[in-house]
């Protein structure tokens, strides 16, 4: 699968991920970055385990 983010967007998201205080926002950023690396939606959703 081809990446959909531009390099500058990836860098900005990584920076925001490191500085983010809100865990939910941090997880969403990570999900976008993993998707950009080619992870499927199913794998990304299972990365954090089952939700309650």
Domain edges within the chain: 7-43
> What would the mean pLDDT of 33-51 be, rounded to a whole number?
85
| Helix, strand or coil, per DSSP, at residue 27 | helix
Distance in angstroms (rounded) separating the CA atoms of residues 29 and 44: 11
- Mean predicted lDDT score pLDDT of the chain: 90
**pLDDT band (50, 70, 90) for residue 32:** very high
Gap between the Cα atoms of 36 and 20, Å rounded:
19
Shortest CA distance to 6 belongs to which of 44, 33, 30? 33
Contact between 13 and 7 (Cβ < 8 Å): no
User: To the nearest whole percent, how much of the chain has pLDDT over 70?
Assistant: 90
């Amino acid at each position: 699968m081809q990446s959909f983010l531009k390099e500058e967007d990836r860098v900005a998201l990584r920076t925001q991920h490191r500085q983010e205080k809100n865990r939910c926002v941090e997880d969403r950023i990570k999900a976008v970055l993993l998707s950009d690396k080619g992870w499927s939606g199913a794998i990304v959703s299972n990365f954090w385990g089952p939700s309650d």
